[in-house]
Structure 1
């Protein structure tokens, strides 16, 4: 029933809305001020009449001021106008780039095709105990990174784990900030469960049906044998033929029609050869085949062979599943890298290993129970317990639950809805399974009376039993996701003591499909999950009815005035009263103008400089009012109220209020740029206004992505739009133009991803040095700032910038800040150019001394500065492309020539030409001096080379292991793995030393192959013939380019050196800008 609306008899009014209150206050003031001369306070008194009318006018103002905020800002309450008021929608301002583990899980689960996802810090290095319990050096969880060690005695990192004599072990460097990702895929509507290599097909023989279960290599195995099996995930290649070469039981006995019935009671092992459309043949040896059927007498081996060799058939289903898995994992990797945070990376993205669990149980049912329906409900409840669906809620659902808005929008912005943290916790990977939990769920089914003989059995990836018939608790292999093994589960039902099984498999499957579908949460991107903009009524706040129009007609100041027959004195008196009231009228109408423009006060627009708004009363507002003015115009009234630029300070304060709503402030920046000169103060206020409006207009993105890093996997990682969120934010806070911005180097990205990459030193020296511990990669950033810019050469600004960078950098990251130059770097350049100019003087002075050299030195200094500035400008506008000779000659003609001609006594045109050739040749030959540009070029070149690495490039160790195993058929895998680990160290260090020695001349593929082929790998008792071939094949031209660009970047980084503002003494021992000494200045100025 709708709540009845009533008008309160005694409504409580606010003081400005209460006429009686205002009148009483006015009367009190009159008595206090004029009681000696004014004693008649009755209603007929003109003064009391005026008081009452003014009080009523104030209540009107209060009434309008009390309109809903949405009405006051109605002009901006449109989706296209909200950003002008910094009224950011909740889905923009409350959400943020994924930060926590749950945030990343939500991001992945929101992705199409992903059922569940898990994220964990990289938990092992090779030779450590892995998530699967393995302790060998070939554990699959460790194949995403190259191992490095700290040689503390020599102060360097190395790929070798021991000293050359093997007596001393080096400390392993465990790089932090890396994450392993596991995902579980949704069932494909066509190919079914694609989470592993297990595929099913229905086999029809005679009038009967059987289910074939074939276990083939999972996606992860395909990557490990990439060179042999890569065609299986290529969607342009199809299966054209399948041949069954062998079918034996677990004893190696061939399967025949005579022993088929007995053999099917356990696993069958087969060899399959696939022929692909590109004429490549792939063989699967000892693949596990299980056949499930009710009656086996009529089934023949020919039926099985025909089903397996059918094209398209079970093998085509398997390949299609691999292709979709590959696409989903690549999409997940791209999604994660696009939302990666600073100095973090995703190491190993894989499918979560599935562990099948079969359930055997007896259930007593009510007599009227539908057995197929009850069994389907039991199976779905068990499936949801083992591997639950994660609900995705709409905004309407959460609002109906009275969930707080800040909680709803806390986390990443998703496409399909919202995910609760508690649901993620329920869907975490289980360490053990409890029978009591499942029994409680089953007992919720109304038709179930009791449960007995509840047993659980788990199976490995080949279908072998791990734990058999566990009654209460079943351990789950670490890192595995349990899954109901329907084919090996058995449900026996009793009604009044009589046993029953589900009679119709078709009906059971139909009900099962229906129940599974009803429990799924559709990812529907079309649902509106944004809060509605508050409804607003557009009102004319400036609609004004003059106070004087409310006076009794006898006053003669109303809309119709006095009669023409009235005497002149009477007209003068009325005119005088109108003039007296004009003061009040102007105050009232100005108030309404201010209210009408309330939205403009907070407008995020630097061109809006006005903070006080006026309404010039014209004859259309009050009849005959313009005749009362003595030269007053609308512009004059505005200037009188607020002089030119008078609103700058107030507009800045309004924007400060908006900034404070987001806990932001530009107070320290203003102090760092403060000037006491009035003209400069105006310019500073204008610049501040521009800075604040720019910052606020882009605030949702700056806030959302404040910890977000670049996507280093895209083809063009240095594209203008691909910059870190922190860099965008700092550009705004520090007033840095994007064209002359800085570079953020994430040390984690510099870690070696393939053996042989150059390694960072354990301690970096230099003017911007930071001494590291044994790990120079984890949680470290280097900010390379353009120190030569005018703004950056001011010590107060630099202090503010460094403080801001450290405050804005996430707390767990250590920033190193370098203010580098970008100019010609030869220390003798000034002297050499001065000597050249000395010799070109006409006439040449007879003697040479310091006093005569000083003017030429200044000319040379100006020429060098002009060329450096021209070069920098060209590099900035030309995307770091160095100028060609014609451009450098133009620099000389435009920037240097006149200074040389006027500064060198008697210099001839030929002399100027000589200087031009000398300067042009010098700058063309010394491009390696421009350290900031070289760093940007090296950073981008390495990022581009690094982006070419793919998931398969993490498996060199597996490729090498597989090659050695093939060459050593009788060797134990553990021995081979130990050998592989030694070889990885040996070759990694050898490649690193080769990179260092050959870097200056450029790394070449042919030279690399020659170096590798000179190596003689040795492992006791193990044939290592294929080792060199594996390395020369793996290190293609792209990887040689990666080695080159990576080493070049590290070389440039080692040459970084901070420059300091003019007239500043730097404390070289301190190594930073905390205590610089400025010449001619004290500590206070």
Structure 2
């Protein structure tokens, strides 16, 4: 303990409010300053000084109470489980976060009962590979995917590679078709008697000419294609406890792992697989020297346990106290509370991050480290020999150096195959030496289960499984103090001398009967002002926990204390009529209300409550200043009340708002599709920051707005825009009764959006409603007059034009009530704010082939028809087109082709295939000498379209197809490609091999063939072998060309990539769809703020595509979105029907306000009275 804490300050300085003498001097100073002309005696005997001293003492008491420990100030009289629920968040609630890193995910999985360890890896492999077709031209030119507006977009995604020849033919046909259309339009432009809009025709010609240019550019890229490498995909490998494996409970534990992972899945990430680790069982041979007193059986068990734990370590859990005692190796200090509670909240304790990272699957394994660990076992003197794995190649090793080299090669192979080493005693051999004895545990010919020492080893493993804590402290409790009766007030007047007549035991008559009584009443009234201030301070101090609470029931920030302690208080109130004979309880109740209204009017409460909530939000680093300013600007009525509600909801939900801000929706809950809080953390956080009253996933396209088609009796003329619709407001609480109908408008989404916005904007204000009708009679009463007749409600714009009308009513009072109903419905529509967030990664194709069995009939088809798979649109810019795979920026003789074999053609589990293809013919003239030394010219010609590199090639005269460079995982293919670029760019890593084969024709001639190998010089690994060549010159020519190409590839992939990768619309991308008709969202400034908030609050690596849509577009989108969610949440491999529908909808979303210039939505006329209306 720090000795400074034990030092006593002899001066004992007091705070100014605790210093009685100081307060008295300050009071006398003010008396001298204000009344020295009339008041000159300041002795203690003066009544004024006596009162001053009493007040000063009361102030020191207040200061003393204010200085109590915070836990004492906040502790109420009666404690309950929810006392501090809406005041404090505990460390476990507020400091933990959802898993963010790979280490966090490992902690989350290891916390599950039955899991020993787990590893999570980023994966480039996914269900169905997508290929980028660089030669495709999208004529519509959607600007969302990166291109300028109205410009054609290049590129698309496909499930299979497009053949270059076929694409060239398609493009040539498209160019010819566009040139034909251009010629026809030019003929119309040049026609002298043409009545068509020639400017419009010229714009069409310019657009077609751009398309022709784009098609001509696309021909350049017909040979380009590459696999789309998606980001954010994870593979999970789980190591189960041995008892789980023995009892065959892996499926049950795996289901728990999957559920927990998807509960905490990060936004724009997904889990490709959750599999059990693959073990590589190994045996051991060792020679050990023991101490004389050592027990060989115990030492054997301990050594086996050390070897077992070295390769398959368990992860230890700690209590809070243990973690606080541990030293952080990064800074040499004890772990802080923030560091202890970092990461996800666990059930079985706390995991040391440094220890967990030390158990990584691909950590540095060293035989020397294992030997050191064995030497630390009690009873071991030395390790003479240790061979791991023992007899793996069929022959025992001879010395330790060879064992170390073999061990390293074995570990390298384990990493490549993603396997975990596991000790198996079968075929193991342990020899222990003492001075006069030799103990041998030979399990080559002996069953380990029958050995007592082995059973001891099994006991140690069982004990090691019990590392998960139970019944431990998981959180720091909220400190609870002592209830200090802070509001217990002793009036100042009771401390005055008894002769003043105002003491505690002095009883004054209700009506003064003497001068002394009158003077006592006057003094009591005079002191009552000061008493109320002091008592209110006591009340304020006692309600400190309410002032700094985010409880929605708090309705005041100033608290008054009714001075029940003062005798005759009822007679001291001047606005009190004693003739009413009201009860004391009723009197104090009414007086309390009046006092509270004086102390804190409503406008003051709204201002102060907002300020206190801002303070509490600031403690969490939240600033709603800009939101508050814009809301006050847009939301005119009851803004203060709305802001208080928004802030309280944010604070009450802050644990999830902050902790889960990076999570995605859990798509393993089939019963939580719609009208549910199963939303992403980003939607929750953004919704709270933007003040959405409803943050569930719900329908934003409300049923209160209906679009009704108008059936025209006369058919439309050719080229005439005739289809029209009504916009109707209906009361969903009264069987969808129509309460307002708009003017007829053309059936166009742009017009519908504009009309809805106009109607809702006007209907928010009472001044835009008019009651029009004919009066037939008037009935009069004492309170009001009522007109009878035919009346209707009209909604008019600022020019007085009728925008919408209601049905007719029999009297004007019904019409007025109908206006209130319309405004109430509009308020409900405006309050229905929200957003939809779609993660693009979840829309990726997951099935190779999809058959539409519903339409399949054996009589009609030999093969069931396949559904076309929709993919998200892409639009490639010049940078993306120039790179691709780094091909075709210059002319190269080779290209790299990556593909995945379909299941029916993959004879093993290595479906990923890489090929290096010679795409151009290579010619070279070589000057050499023949066997006689004479100069000769050799022409080398290598044909085009030939695959060059393979895993193995046939080395005999039997026809055999070479083994392709195939891989089980895409990551393995990537690693091999990187090695080929690195080592294949240096000619020293090529070795030409010669193969001689006898020709079986009786001539005894030899057929000499050449091939080359590309090797990794670091471990002498053969990366690839070439095809056969007839001469050594052909092999050398191929090597020279490949060195140039792979060197170019290495330079290309090592330099900084300047492209923005528009070819990937799935990785870390989301589409956010918002309604543009609700009140706040109709304001462009507020829309900009919403977009700014979305981009700020989304994780920095996620790119949002924000779409503001009208009600028709929203209804169409929500239908597709809900259908896709229902399919996704019920099927991990969703059918392509709902997926295709949603992908098409996302590709074709049209924002509200996307209207053509000078567009018209309706036709106007006037009635006989001169009123303008629309029809």
| TM-score, normalisation: structure 2 | 0.56
Q: Who is 1:366 aligned against? A: 291
1:686 Cα deviation after fit: 0.6
Tell whether the 8 Å contact from 1:151 to 1:158 is kept in structure 2 after alignment: no
Kindly tell me: are residues 567 and 409 of structure 1, through their superposed partners in 2, closer, same or farther at Cα, counting changes over 3 Å? same
Kindly tell me: are residues 365 and 79 of structure 1, through their superposed partners in 2, closer, same or farther at Cα, counting changes over 3 Å? farther
Q: Who is 2:121 aligned against? A: 120
Residue 940 (1) aligns with residue 1122 (2) = yes
Q: Who is 1:557 aligned against? A: 502
Q: Who is 1:26 aligned against? A: 27
Kindly tell me: are residues 946 and 542 of structure 1, through their superposed partners in 2, closer, same or farther at Cα, counting changes over 3 Å? closer
- Give the Cα–Cα distance (whole angstroms) in 1 for the partners of residues 1066 and 610 of structure 2: 42
- Give the Cα–Cα distance (whole angstroms) in 2 for the partners of residues 32 and 14 of structure 1: 24
Given the alignment, which residue of 550, 556, 563 partners 1:610? 556
Given the alignment, which residue of 648, 664, 682 partners 1:693? 648
Q: How many residues align?
A: 711
| Aligned counterparts, 1:38-57, within 5 A | 38-57=39-58
Q: Who is 1:789 aligned against? A: 1078
Given the alignment, which residue of 1057, 1060, 1070 partners 2:1150? 1057
Kindly tell me: are residues 539 and 466 of structure 1, through their superposed partners in 2, closer, same or farther at Cα, counting changes over 3 Å? farther
Q: Who is 1:341 aligned against? A: 266
SS at structure 2 position matched to 1:91: helix
1:603 Cα deviation after fit: 3.0
| Aligned counterparts, 1:476-875, within 5 A | 476=411, 477-478=414-415, 479-496=418-435, 498-501=437-440, 506-561=451-506, 568-618=514-564, 621-631=565-575, 633-675=591-633, 683-716=638-671, 718-719=673-674, 720-736=676-692, 737=694, 738=696, 739=698, 740=700, 741-755=834-848, 757-763=869-875, 773-823=1062-1112
1:670 Cα deviation after fit: 1.5
Kindly tell me: are residues 949 and 689 of structure 1, through their superposed partners in 2, closer, same or farther at Cα, counting changes over 3 Å? closer
1:377 Cα deviation after fit: 1.0
Q: Who is 2:133 aligned against? A: 150
Q: Who is 1:894 aligned against? A: none
Tell whether the 8 Å contact from 2:288 to 2:381 is kept in structure 1 after alignment: yes
Tell whether the 8 Å contact from 2:508 to 2:517 is kept in structure 1 after alignment: no
SS at structure 2 position matched to 1:589: helix
The unaligned stretches of length 5 or more in structure 2 are: 138-154, 167-221, 327-333, 443-447, 577-590, 701-833, 850-868, 878-1058, 1160-1175
Kindly tell me: are residues 471 and 21 of structure 1, through their superposed partners in 2, closer, same or farther at Cα, counting changes over 3 Å? farther
The unaligned stretches of length 5 or more in structure 1 are: 125-141, 193-319, 824-930, 954-1038, 1067-1085
Provide, for residues 240-284 of structure 1, a one-character-per-residue CA deviation record: whole Å limited to 9, x for no partner. xxxxxxxxxxxxxxxxxxxxxxxxxxxxxxxxxxxxxxxxxxxxx
Tell whether the 8 Å contact from 2:129 to 2:227 is kept in structure 1 after alignment: no
1:37 Cα deviation after fit: 4.7
Tell whether the 8 Å contact from 1:762 to 1:771 is kept in structure 2 after alignment: no
- Give the Cα–Cα distance (whole angstroms) in 1 for the partners of residues 596 and 608 of structure 2: 15
SS at structure 1 position matched to 2:602: coil
- Give the Cα–Cα distance (whole angstroms) in 2 for the partners of residues 39 and 628 of structure 1: 31
Tell whether the 8 Å contact from 2:133 to 2:224 is kept in structure 1 after alignment: no
1:326 Cα deviation after fit: 3.0
Given the alignment, which residue of 221, 233, 239 partners 1:178? 233
- Give the Cα–Cα distance (whole angstroms) in 2 for the partners of residues 413 and 375 of structure 1: 39
1:647 Cα deviation after fit: 0.6
| Aligned counterparts, 1:396-407, within 5 A | 396-399=321-324, 401=326, 403-407=335-339
Provide, for residues 412-453 of structure 1, a one-character-per-residue CA deviation record: whole Å limited to 9, x for no partner. 122222111111111111455322212222222231112212
- Give the Cα–Cα distance (whole angstroms) in 2 for the partners of residues 609 and 366 of structure 1: 79
Kindly tell me: are residues 371 and 772 of structure 1, through their superposed partners in 2, closer, same or farther at Cα, counting changes over 3 Å? closer
Q: Which moved more, 1:565-574 or 1:386-395?
A: 565-574
Q: Which moved more, 1:420-429 or 1:642-651?
A: 642-651
1:34 Cα deviation after fit: 4.5
Tell whether the 8 Å contact from 2:237 to 2:275 is kept in structure 1 after alignment: yes
Kindly tell me: are residues 940 and 524 of structure 1, through their superposed partners in 2, closer, same or farther at Cα, counting changes over 3 Å? farther
Tell whether the 8 Å contact from 1:393 to 1:418 is kept in structure 2 after alignment: yes
1:364 Cα deviation after fit: 1.5
1:459 Cα deviation after fit: 8.4
Kindly tell me: are residues 467 and 9 of structure 1, through their superposed partners in 2, closer, same or farther at Cα, counting changes over 3 Å? same
Tell whether the 8 Å contact from 1:343 to 1:779 is kept in structure 2 after alignment: yes
Tell whether the 8 Å contact from 1:391 to 1:521 is kept in structure 2 after alignment: no
Q: Who is 2:951 aligned against? A: none
- Give the Cα–Cα distance (whole angstroms) in 1 for the partners of residues 323 and 277 of structure 2: 30
- Give the Cα–Cα distance (whole angstroms) in 2 for the partners of residues 613 and 1062 of structure 1: 57
- Give the Cα–Cα distance (whole angstroms) in 1 for the partners of residues 1128 and 619 of structure 2: 41
Kindly tell me: are residues 450 and 525 of structure 1, through their superposed partners in 2, closer, same or farther at Cα, counting changes over 3 Å? closer
- Give the Cα–Cα distance (whole angstroms) in 2 for the partners of residues 795 and 649 of structure 1: 27
- Give the Cα–Cα distance (whole angstroms) in 2 for the partners of residues 392 and 145 of structure 1: 40
Q: Which structure is higher in strand share?
A: 2
Tell whether the 8 Å contact from 1:439 to 1:451 is kept in structure 2 after alignment: yes
- Give the Cα–Cα distance (whole angstroms) in 1 for the partners of residues 526 and 87 of structure 2: 42
Given the alignment, which residue of 443, 446, 453 partners 2:378? 446
Q: Who is 1:417 aligned against? A: 349
Tell whether the 8 Å contact from 1:90 to 1:531 is kept in structure 2 after alignment: yes
Residue 71 (1) aligns with residue 72 (2) = yes
1:466 Cα deviation after fit: 12
Given the alignment, which residue of 243, 249, 260 partners 1:188? 243
Tell whether the 8 Å contact from 1:72 to 1:598 is kept in structure 2 after alignment: yes
- Give the Cα–Cα distance (whole angstroms) in 2 for the partners of residues 560 and 41 of structure 1: 28
Tell whether the 8 Å contact from 1:95 to 1:410 is kept in structure 2 after alignment: yes
| TM-score, normalisation: structure 1 | 0.61
SS at structure 2 position matched to 1:472: helix
Residue 14 (1) aligns with residue 15 (2) = yes
1:56 Cα deviation after fit: 1.1
Kindly tell me: are residues 25 and 1060 of structure 1, through their superposed partners in 2, closer, same or farther at Cα, counting changes over 3 Å? farther
Tell whether the 8 Å contact from 1:76 to 1:84 is kept in structure 2 after alignment: no
Q: Who is 1:263 aligned against? A: none
Kindly tell me: are residues 68 and 744 of structure 1, through their superposed partners in 2, closer, same or farther at Cα, counting changes over 3 Å? same
- Give the Cα–Cα distance (whole angstroms) in 1 for the partners of residues 515 and 603 of structure 2: 45
SS at structure 2 position matched to 1:500: strand
- Give the Cα–Cα distance (whole angstroms) in 2 for the partners of residues 567 and 1055 of structure 1: 92
1:98 Cα deviation after fit: 0.9
1:336 Cα deviation after fit: 1.2
- Give the Cα–Cα distance (whole angstroms) in 1 for the partners of residues 357 and 434 of structure 2: 38
Q: Which moved more, 1:806-815 or 1:154-163?
A: 154-163
Provide, for residues 475-502 of structure 1, a one-character-per-residue CA deviation record: whole Å limited to 9, x for no partner. 2121222222322332211111532225
| Aligned counterparts, 1:943-982, within 5 A | 943-947=1125-1129
Kindly tell me: are residues 423 and 598 of structure 1, through their superposed partners in 2, closer, same or farther at Cα, counting changes over 3 Å? same
1:153 Cα deviation after fit: 4.9
Tell whether the 8 Å contact from 2:876 to 2:1062 is kept in structure 1 after alignment: no
Root-mean-square deviation over aligned CA pairs? 3.5
Kindly tell me: are residues 760 and 702 of structure 1, through their superposed partners in 2, closer, same or farther at Cα, counting changes over 3 Å? same
- Give the Cα–Cα distance (whole angstroms) in 1 for the partners of residues 403 and 107 of structure 2: 35
Kindly tell me: are residues 73 and 187 of structure 1, through their superposed partners in 2, closer, same or farther at Cα, counting changes over 3 Å? same
- Give the Cα–Cα distance (whole angstroms) in 2 for the partners of residues 653 and 67 of structure 1: 25
| Structure with max Cα Rg | 2
SS at structure 1 position matched to 2:604: coil
